[in-house]
Amino acid sequence: MNLRHARTFVTVAELGTVSKAAHRLRTAQPALSRQIIDFEQELGLRLFDRVGRRLLLTGEGEQLLAGCRVLLNCASAVTEQAQQLRQGDTGVLKVAGSPQHIESVLSQFLHRYAERYPNVEVRIAEGTGSEILKLLESGEIHLGQNLLHSVKLDKRHFGSLPLGSVEVLAACRPSLTLSDRDTIEVARLSGVPLLLMDSGFGFRRAFDAASRMAGLIPTIKFESRNPHTLLALAEAGHGVAIVPSQLQCRRYSLRIVGLTYRGRPLREPLTVSWDKRRSLPRFATDYCAMLAGYMCEIFPITRPTAPKPTISRRAPKQARRKPPAVSAR
Amino acid sequence: MNLRHARTFVTVAELGTVSKAAHRLRTAQPALSRQIIDFEQELGLRLFDRVGRRLLLTGEGEQLLAGCRVLLNCASAVTEQAQQLRQGDTGVLKVAGSPQHIESVLSQFLHRYAERYPNVEVRIAEGTGSEILKLLESGEIHLGQNLLHSVKLDKRHFGSLPLGSVEVLAACRPSLTLSDRDTIEVARLSGVPLLLMDSGFGFRRAFDAASRMAGLIPTIKFESRNPHTLLALAEAGHGVAIVPSQLQCRRYSLRIVGLTYRGRPLREPLTVSWDKRRSLPRFATDYCAMLAGYMCEIFPITRPTAPKPTISRRAPKQARRKPPAVSAR
DNA sequence: GGCCGTTTATAGCATTTGGGCATAACAAAG
DNA sequence: CTTTGTTATGCCCAAATGCTATAAACGGCC
């Protein structure tokens, strides 16, 4: 089976004679004549009845003609698609990120990106930092987002772009007074029942590292892959949730303080990473740049609440967060 | 664009490496390697990122992969269809016949034929005898039915099979007494206003020939391509309709007599004809044979009514026509 | 770091495919 | 019968394709 066979078959059937088909296809007549014969032999049936100097479609040929037409249409569709892709700004972009990243960043950002690149299909995978690293290494995704530096990746093979930093926050029910300021030392969490992200997450690893440094042996009440589970549990008074400032907390009634180690806030850089050995099209590199800009606009998403919480807490922050969201529309 | 390119592209993309693809496609690895490169050059874009010893689909490749898959499915559908056709009993059969033939014969016969050849698509064209001849000569149809011998066709090129004969009938309103018997001589139609088939019909030509022989100069009241128009006009008393016995007349209140010339009934043989230079598949030759058998069963469809018509005319004939119709179901 | 197994890409050679030219075979029209 | 137009065939050459051998790159392992 050959596209050329199909093409000459269809043209000959349409024009009625081999000669005319040869003229249209800018080739000599014997070539087409032989192609028809070869095609018939390959299919094992007569496509034309040779009556006089005309070629008349047989009943079988009539049926195959339709099939060959759609085949040719398919082929030209593919080449046309290739041409589209060559123009650029078209393709599939597979990205992965943590649940909180997808929720608080991507959910808005994708709209902005789709404005600039309407013909790029962004496919999203959700996972922990280590899972994202695996996907990146296996080549199943093009970009891995929200990777923290604590997740090691080979500098030789992977490029990355900083996306700003997340701070480590502790969230608990307002009635619980963790600290009289809007920060708290890691070490003071000793004995406090903690609600932590699953250990696969880079954020969790960063917290664990800080704990070791501070000599804290954490009391782990619960671990989850879903940060909102931690917030809900914290709101219900089951302990203190350790969450990244990237997480949306405004739906919950929580007191939020920043974690510090030796007086300095705990923060972890975020990055977007890719395999340097792969060639990223413009719409992919642009994705990274646009993402960095967008996150710079909206970060930090959640900040510590005032030390003495009032009812209308975080009112100024809501005002600060609105404009970028609108501009992203 | 080449089906081979598409095939190796899809296989390599599915199996992840060129080597495995080569093994599956039972060929050497360098061949596929070059095919991929050639395909990429032809399309003008990278399909794979060569990272390490793996080939990872680019975003563009991902999109083209889907297109190539449907292309290959199309191709295999065509070859599969060809195999079906090779088995036989599948195809398109284009036939043509007169309106009365289609109405009274084909309408029932096609059911019987479809029982035997359910996968043959019969396409019907309607026309006069001379139009059918043209279609046959131009190759637009495979079989021309209901051709009368008065329509000349070249014995060298066209084969034919007799289908029985039609008689020439005269139909008028019952109150009009054309004849006291169930036949009437052609010559006696002199001066009678006649309702005739269009002169393109072989049946009309047969009548004209008989008229000339009998020295009759017909008084033509009306000509039509639609025989039922003639019957309706005759029933309304506008004249005598000259119609073939093949025509269904039972819906009309008409007196019907057979035309004779020198005491012998006028009759014209019917045939089904084809271009001998074309190869007819079995389902086509069988169509002819089955048609001949069927028409033998049901002919003549309309016979002269009793000379003194009663109310329950043609009751026995209705009974005679039912059984074949049932057996054809 | 060095070796080994694996994989891709390249080179050289052989085979096949396919087109072009000339021409035969054939049909239709004058 | 000749002329014209069309299909099919033989011959030649070029392009495509495949195979073997081999180089180059990579990853894993010691």
Segment B269-284 shows an average pLDDT of: 85
CATH of the domain at A63: 1.10.10.10
Chain D: bases < 7 Å from a protein Cβ: 5-10, 17-22, 25-27
Amino acid at site A199: S
Residues A193 and A313 placed together within one structural domain of the fold: yes
Binary contact (A58, B91; C-beta < 8 A)? yes
Last residue of a domain, one of B65, B87, B109: B87
Burial of B87 (0-12, 13-18, 19+ CB in 10 A): exposed
Q: Rounded to whole angstroms, how far apart are CA atoms A105 and A326?
A: 14
Segment A231-252 shows an average pLDDT of: 89
Q: Rounded to whole angstroms, how far apart are CA atoms A233 and A195?
A: 8
Token duo for residue B223: 């000509």
Enter the DSSP assignment of A103: I
Total number of domains constituting chain A: 2
Last residue of a domain, one of B87, B115, B142: B87
Q: Rounded to whole angstroms, how far apart are CA atoms A78 and B69?
A: 10
Token duo for residue B200: 């393109």
Residues B12 and B54 placed together within one structural domain of the fold: yes
Residues B158 and B286 placed together within one structural domain of the fold: yes
Interface check A16 vs B, CB under 8 A: no
Segment B19-38 shows an average pLDDT of: 87
| C-beta separation of B99 from B225 below 8 A | yes
- Please state at what angle helix A107-116 crosses helix A282-298, rounded to 10 degrees: 140
Lowest mean pLDDT among A307-311, B263-267, B278-282: A307-311
pLDDT digits (tens, 9 = 90+) for B44-69: 888 888 777 778 888 888 888 888 88
Residues B104 and B202 placed together within one structural domain of the fold: yes
| C-beta separation of A242 from A194 below 8 A | yes
Interface check B278 vs A, CB under 8 A: yes
pLDDT digits (tens, 9 = 90+) for B127-146: 888 888 888 887 888 899 87
CATH of the domain at B252: 3.40.190.290
Distance B159 CA to C23 C1' (A): 34
A257 Cα to chain B: minimum distance (Å):
43
Residues B77 and B220 placed together within one structural domain of the fold: no
Question: DSSP for A21-69?
Answer: HHHHTTS-HHHHHHHHHHHHHHHTS--EEEETTEEEE-HHHHHHHHHHH
Q: CA of B108: how far to CAs of A236, B112, B245, B297, in Å?
A: 80, 7, 17, 12
pLDDT digits (tens, 9 = 90+) for B218-268: 989 888 888 888 888 888 888 899 999 988 888 888 999 999 999 899 988
Residues B59 and B46 placed together within one structural domain of the fold: yes
The number of angstroms, rounded, from the C-alpha of A236 to the middle of its chain's C-alpha atoms is 33
Residues A109 and A174 placed together within one structural domain of the fold: yes
Residues A63 and A204 placed together within one structural domain of the fold: no
The number of angstroms, rounded, from the C-alpha of B32 to the middle of its chain's C-alpha atoms is 49
Q: Rounded to whole angstroms, how far apart are CA atoms A241 and A221?
A: 10
Binary contact (A79, B50; C-beta < 8 A)? no
Segment A236-254 shows an average pLDDT of: 89
Residues B83 and B104 placed together within one structural domain of the fold: no
Residues B158 and B280 placed together within one structural domain of the fold: yes
pLDDT digits (tens, 9 = 90+) for B144-203: 987 666 666 677 678 888 898 899 999 998 887 777 778 899 999 988 999 999 988 989
Residues B182 and B222 placed together within one structural domain of the fold: yes
Last residue of a domain, one of A41, A58, A87: A87
What domain range is B14 assigned to?
3-87
Residues B203 and B251 placed together within one structural domain of the fold: yes
Looking at residue B317, its pLDDT comes to 41
Phi, psi (deg, nearest 5) at residue A247:
-80, 140
